[in-house]
Structure 1
């Protein structure tokens, strides 16, 4: 443009823009004009069809010239709806030519007009252009959201088909969304669009060819490319025609069909020498730029004319105009600021949504990892306990068969190894249950002095082997009865005292319990476990409570152990809202101490010590059904029962167990829980349907507390966890089966 025109654009637009704001602000509020498609002139519709045709043939100069004529028609007719369609097509063409600012300018003109008229097609078209702009800026998710909103605004078939085409392009750019893209393109292959049926089909075939080519489906790619090429040739779709020819050359080379690649090559050579040559492209590009600039100037002139007309009709004084102009300047600056802030907000929201999705995926992955860990450990527990049952069971049977002295030593070593493995498995499962938040401290009656005495008595043999002296220093002021969890307290002290004994030789281990204070019905008790052992180096004290840590590799090799004891202690104390502390000096021993808050129950009567006499059960007349799928375990269980002169039948699965229980009379059933096919729980439920009285003892290698309720609910009378101690095994049979038979005989 010349200098005069440039100056006009620079100086007149702001003033006119502000004057427009002033007039609009001071005009009385009027209701929006409602329009529908019936107001559009058929002649205008024909003009727009011509614009679409030129645009689809990539004849942008002719398309713009036709669009200019359509725009003038809308101006003469003063038809807002037609003007909106013109701005829409201008924005489409500018986006095709990658002129984003110009496209945004015409989108703004559309939105200005939409504020004065209720036009659903225009609303949808505005959202569609906004989606294309978002895609140009790389925000495909925002573009898809706007397309979804556009589909709700209008049911215009051509616009909906354009939206479907754009969705296919968006999904092809989003990872893992290729199937959605293919679905959209397939829908357009058989479209019945009133204006662009063949163009939409050609675009769909070409896009499918590109997708299949990228996926390595060469035959599908060739088929779709040829379909697109035929449509492009018949309708002069220049860009599609050229692109499909290039694609077919590459595809036929991949299949080795070089003779079929010749026609596409010749077509490309013809294109090079035709109207689409470099020189022609240069002329066309220059003409196109002239038209684009001319169009923008005309748009500016139209705006100025509208503003001038509105300014004259307003008949306001110069002072009022200046004040209003100043006022609107501020408003305009605020509007620009708000617009920019809104754009930043949109981008930020999109980024936050992306980050939230990533965080949600990370959280889901962490939850899945935790669930996988829990399931893995439960499975490992079952798989390890099953062979351990064989080891401990066979060891028990061999020890009872009066082995030779040298065999006795070997069997005792085998028994020790089995017990060690079982303790290791129990430690891992204990940590797993705490991590999975499946443990919570109970609040039951607890004699603390008795708990400590039982722990020390149970560890006396280990202390003797180390030539250690065990000392309990117990404060008599501690209430005799408290409410706590004696089982978990025993686990804490067993681990701490056992650890102290393991690392102390020819020394002493002192357990101290002191009442710190009473606060109402609560007692605060201080505990200390002190030893004179090897101690812990200062630099390793911070890591000593981590899993599988024992101070050093040398200590681990010399003293053995899992390295989980202190981890379990720390986790269990965490359930009581307490922390463990350590003071140690290398070579001089260690002191572990912590504090617990426990509820007092002083009104309870002190327990009187008494000895429980083991019950004398008769086993020789019992006939049992043993349900066990493992062959080795069948042999071991049968031999352990025969030691007590108990006869039995064997069922290898749940189905056989149900059949045998129906056909025979048994005094009781030993039911393995985890079996292929029908599980022990399901088999128990079926047996209870026709026999509600027979005692059933569940034998399971799972030690998770929450599974016991399921066993009892199914109808089991008791549960024994494998591998079990023989004494406990016989005791459970006596309590549940022998005693039940004896009562039945007496009655």
Structure 2
């Protein structure tokens, strides 16, 4: 960890909140100089940042602004900490302390103490550092969010130097994204750099890469060159650990280029030499100013002692300037040598890594549609077989096959939308459903694995549960498939009970208590703390005996958070387990109930008189859709591509069009746009497998009236056709 900390030791620790000032003209000047200081500092120009502070001091002294003078001392402190010159920073800390003996300025005192805590931690004085940081936190005004966040940030850095990395990490995570009066982007980036450093040391490579991705985006957008240099070094170390030598080389070269352009020895030496005069002048003039103020306050301050201390401080600075310059040169020489050596070792792998990234992107863009197409055939043919009066011995198998196909589709959808989960964009769909039917289907689909272990599945449903609820039945099915499937896996010759009962009910919603109870091997009290973690199955022996990925309960926990619910477990080794949780569902109003039942009120004569154009390029899908329509007596015509669809829509008379989206020639969206040029009224329903880069809004904008996602449930298929045809008839009466 000490080696990784060297990557960021040279970073500036934190900016002060700003200059205190009086008078409008002075205010504008101080604010402008402050912004310049932040800009120069963040882009790595030591000289200009130092000169900005010197100019600010001119205005502050002219206005006798003691608070701004203390702020400037603190800014000098952090500037030297930024360039790893702790000895000089210590001098400015002492100078600020002496100024604070003369002036009462709580905010500046809190900032100064937090910097001193870092300085002490760097020198190994743990107890003194922690005590001083506590004092700083007590001083900060409670409503001053910016200063509170500043001191908290410095506390995290202090713990980094004390090697209490877990505590530092918690503070950095709490601060993200950073909120304050100044430099929110810069400080957010710096916190990400520290988090990446900690995670890399612990070999949490995935989270390290996530932190670095966000960090590099910020520094590239804002030109934070010092942060970019350290981030590039850290990225090179990460990818070298992952054996991604080509990426490691790329970031190492980037670090070398930044170092050469902005932070070479010649540049740093030149900047420091140019800034030294202004710094010495500042300290000399500040020393004189403090002497004058001490004279004014001689009733409370011992003038001779203060003068002696400040004079000594000035002499120390002159010595420290020389020592620090020598040490900096040595560090930069070593860094340059390391970059040159690594540069030669990592050149080979660049092209292959780029090809791998392109292949991954191509896979994610096509896999959604390719997986849904065969699933449409599976679920569609299963439905047709059920409609053709199969044997009683076959019905249960076909029903289980159909439900499992639908579950597989939903599972694929969740995997393909992992990017939405990471971005916290996964949300519940809300439409009416029958919870009894959902739970019955779950039980039916798991009868076969239950029989294999001589288990019995019991379904207990409260008769007071409403017939219809508003929610997401697909995600609810996933929850119970995982819970009941888990219970069956760890139970032999026993029972698994799925219960649902009403816990609370109002006019607008109902809370249902769910339980899944088994008579299996049980879970120890120690393992109950970890069973909801990814890939957790208790032990290697359990994993080998019972199999599985260990992701089931993790998925359940994530899905329940969408319902604002939490899962709990009650278990004992050898006595089985009970998983339980509550979910609150909305109740449908009268208008929604009418919409649900409306399609069922459509007379069979309506279907028998319909003529529908089916636009589909896949032959199997053509047959399945045609047979499903014929079951209701609906006539149909087939168009194999978008061009045929346009021609047949012009010449024929159809009550609706079922439009596939992905077809050779022109797409279904383009065909829909062309049809809308000469026919604005005919219902067009997109019948398609939505891929990752599409959304339903694209279909509506192109002119579609509705969307049926393949594979679909037959009842949804028929209801949507009836609903759109009836609505079109009413509109055009």
TM-score normalised by the chain length of structure 2: 0.44
When Rg is computed on C-alpha atoms for both structures, the one with the higher figure is 1
TM-score normalised by the chain length of structure 1: 0.43
